[in-house]
Structure 1
Amino acid sequence: MTDPVKAGPLQGIKVIELGQLIAGPFCGQLLGDMGAEVVKIEAPGAGDPMRNWGQGKTPVWWQVIARNKLSVALDLRSPDGQQTLRDLAGQADILIENFRPGTLEKWNLDPVELRKINPGLIVVRVSGYGQTGPYASRAGFGGIGEAMGGWRAIVGEPDRAPSRMGVSIGDSLAATYGCMGALAALHHRSESGQGQIVDASLYESVLQVMESLIPEYAVAEHKRTRTGSVLPGIAPSNVYPCSDGEYLIGANQDAVFARLCKAMGRAELAEDARYSTHLARGEHQVELDALIGEWTSQLTVAQVEAAMIEHGVPAGRIFDAQDMLEDPHFRAREAVVTLDHPDYGPVPMQGVFPKLSATPGSVRKLAPREIGEDNADVLQRWLGRTE
């Protein structure tokens, strides 16, 4: 029985998740974490490839992205499977899909027709380039969206090829914006009774977080390029070497820089004309970073951190997974939760976010172990079919 306090704000909302891999399923994960009942449709026999994705000895990514979900196996290429999906859509609040545009239409599952069955249905369509435009029919993955949206052009060292983020950020952003669109559409439906289609593309989702990149080029005549670990003109704000690792310090504001100087035992630097103002520090960024790096390199990460905390300088360790599992702040905020899995034992993973004070979400269910394990349950409860 789910704790009613942690049932989540979307309790009672029914979601159908089509598609596979990351963008569509992550959108479903977000809605499920907030209390929605998410029915994941998988192809019989094959299932979602995410079941076998992940790094290390055991593929456990599925345990994160498929939590709080029910698995129903349907062959959407067959008339029977298509009809069952239409019946389920008639009872659903939200349907998520991340196929190439035109795929649902090819399977006789056009969202326009589904909304005729259920006018209140909200259909979230996640794709590489969107449902319209000259590129709509192209295949698109997260990395392609990152490239077109401007992300890859500015990530990495200036003398090397563009770098990737290290995670599938394009997919995750598209999923997040798709989820945002679904929630906005739910509010509109509460006022009008009508659902709608949410069109979330990978490249536009990346574009949304590109700050002032476009107007800087068009108006300020500045084209952002790859600058490694620094933001040109913003100093000090970099990762600095310690005797046992690296440490991030952000002290580019005047008063904060003065506190950093005191922490270093170099209070006079705050009055030095080369470093006393934001503009001056930006002009002498390389030499200032070298000066700070010379100080940090003689200390451990713990020693530098203690000095930064004492003097109120924004700074932080470079965390990896081990650091997160050992950190008291992560534990205190339940940023990481641990699920007991029958095959893997304890499985720690990121918790539910954002945190709501009155109706917090939760991880209520492990990821489905078998493809279609919830067919009978869902078809009985949603459609009244006998076992």
Structure 2
Amino acid sequence: MSTQLHEGPLRGLRVIDLATVFAGPSAARRLADFGADVIKVERTGGGDGARHLGESDGDDAYYWRLVGRNKRPIELDLKQEQGLEVLLRLVRTADVLIENFRPGALERLGLDPESVLLVENPGLVILRVTGFGQDGPYSSRAGFGTIAEAMSTLAYTTGQADGPPTLPPVALADEITGALSAFAILAAIRHRDLTGEGQVIDATLLDSMLDVVGPGAAIAHRTGVSDQRIGSRLWFSAPRNVYECSDGWICMSGSADSVAKRILNVVGGDALQNDPRFATNADRIANVDALDALISTWTSTHTWRDAVQILADAGAAAGPVYSAEQLIADEHVIARGSLAMVNNPDGDGELLQSAPTPRLSRTPGAVRHAGLSRGASTEDVLSELGYTEREISAMSDAGAIGPLTARTG
């Protein structure tokens, strides 16, 4: 429905992104990467919280440059009647609306999904992202990704056996929720295209984490035993760990028996490959301390590059443990363009970001620009909705929309 027909398989799809920080905006960013016209609606006076997290590129954070990329940002005061009317005009033209307010907040703004939004636009797909869902005993709690990562058992099972539970250093729950939500949106759009019916998607950070942490809950339910922390090992496969080399670290995985035996052959030749302690996966798990000690002795005599190359030549699964500096210099990452320089008109020059993934052979995604400044597209979007320059100026003076910029995105 958008007049901004970008390239990509989702061109013509208009998305209103009302969400803040990561999970909801991550879903919208993925749609934008594949051609959707994403209108990023931010509050006047401060904008999305992602603009202010961590190190900055110009006036906005690197996080914003990523999660806000390919979007057209506008500022609205939804507590003012004029600001709300602008949003409703957008709703009438949109395919998708994404929000992550606490349950009930959208309704208090006069934007109840069933009685308002789906009446204004019966084909609208509405994604509601929260920590715990629209119902249930915890629905009113603040729900950041950190809480979901802890409650999902991820933190409990992460870390060394003699150390504390460990949280991931990235917005893992948010990004997983964003990816799953983008999938759910497209499933709902498919239903809409077949039936004309829009619907509401209830996505939660906790449920998304439960989808990816494996069968631990099923095992505990059946046996009464919970998985414990074992560092970088796995309960069900060996070898699997990080190993120190003479100048860095590598990882190995022997989840397939044939691959595990290749590792054994590299490390100790026929003698190790035929050692009854390591004959089967169950044997290797039972004797994992001895196995890891043998592998560590071997890796300690090699540089990480040599160790990875020797193992790769043998058909074993191994790779380096990279820092960010090492990652951006990796020849494979460079050759595939997995990280790419992107247009960054409101920052301090071109910016390195992850390329859209997965790759589509005929209609790949693209990064048109990194996240833009607050309100960069307000005038353009309101003009497309039929507002005159005088009306736009008056709304800005009244504070219903943000200050007008000299350049529109």
The interval holding the TM-score normalised by the smaller chain is: over 0.9
Please give the alpha-carbon distance, in whole angstroms, between the structure 2 residues aligned to 1:65 and 1:25: 6
Aligned to 1:31: 31
- Aligned to 1:197, the other structure's residue is in SS state strand
Closer, same or farther: CA 278–50 of 1 in aligned 2, 3 Å:
same
Identity fraction in percent? 38
2:365 aligned with 1:361, yes or no? yes
Aligned ranges for residues 1-387 of structure 1 at < 5 Å?
Answer: 7-55=7-55, 59-112=61-114, 113-342=116-345, 343-369=347-373, 371-381=374-384, 383-387=385-389
Closer, same or farther: CA 208–76 of 1 in aligned 2, 3 Å:
same
- Aligned to 2:156, the other structure's residue is in SS state helix
**Unpaired segments ≥5 residues, structure 2:** 390-409
TM-score in terms of structure 2 length: 0.89
Q: Which amino acid letter does the alignment assign opposite residue 70 of structure 2?
A: N
Could you report, residue by residue, the CA deviation over 1:47-81 in whole angstroms, capped at 9, with x for unpaired residues?
A: 11211222478731111110100111100111211
Give the Å deviation of 1:233. 4.7
Please give the alpha-carbon distance, in whole angstroms, between the structure 1 residues aligned to 2:292 and 2:54: 37
Alpha carbons 2:128, 2:202 under 8 Å: kept: yes
Q: Which amino acid letter does the alignment assign opposite residue 34 of structure 1?
A: F
Please give the alpha-carbon distance, in whole angstroms, between the structure 2 residues aligned to 1:221 and 1:164: 24
Q: Which amino acid letter does the alignment assign opposite residue 71 of structure 2?
A: K
- Aligned to 1:134, the other structure's residue is in SS state coil
Superposition misfits of 4+ residues, deviation over 6 angstroms:
none
**Unpaired segments ≥5 residues, structure 1:** none
Please give the alpha-carbon distance, in whole angstroms, between the structure 1 residues aligned to 2:111 and 2:32: 23
TM-score in terms of structure 1 length: 0.94
Alpha carbons 1:72, 1:374 under 8 Å: kept: yes
Give the Å deviation of 1:334. 1.8
Aligned to 2:400: none
Alpha carbons 1:254, 1:276 under 8 Å: kept: no
Could you report, residue by residue, the CA deviation over 1:344-369 in whole angstroms, capped at 9, with x for unpaired residues?
A: 12210101011111111111123112
Could you report, residue by residue, the CA deviation over 1:102-140 in whole angstroms, capped at 9, with x for unpaired residues?
A: 111111111121110100000000001101112111111
- Aligned to 2:283, the other structure's residue is in SS state helix
Q: Which amino acid letter does the alignment assign opposite residue 20 of structure 1?
A: T
Please give the alpha-carbon distance, in whole angstroms, between the structure 2 residues aligned to 1:368 and 1:56: 13
- Aligned to 1:8, the other structure's residue is in SS state coil
Q: Which amino acid letter does the alignment assign opposite residue 38 of structure 2?
A: V
Count, aligned residues:
381
- Aligned to 2:21, the other structure's residue is in SS state coil
Closer, same or farther: CA 259–203 of 1 in aligned 2, 3 Å:
same
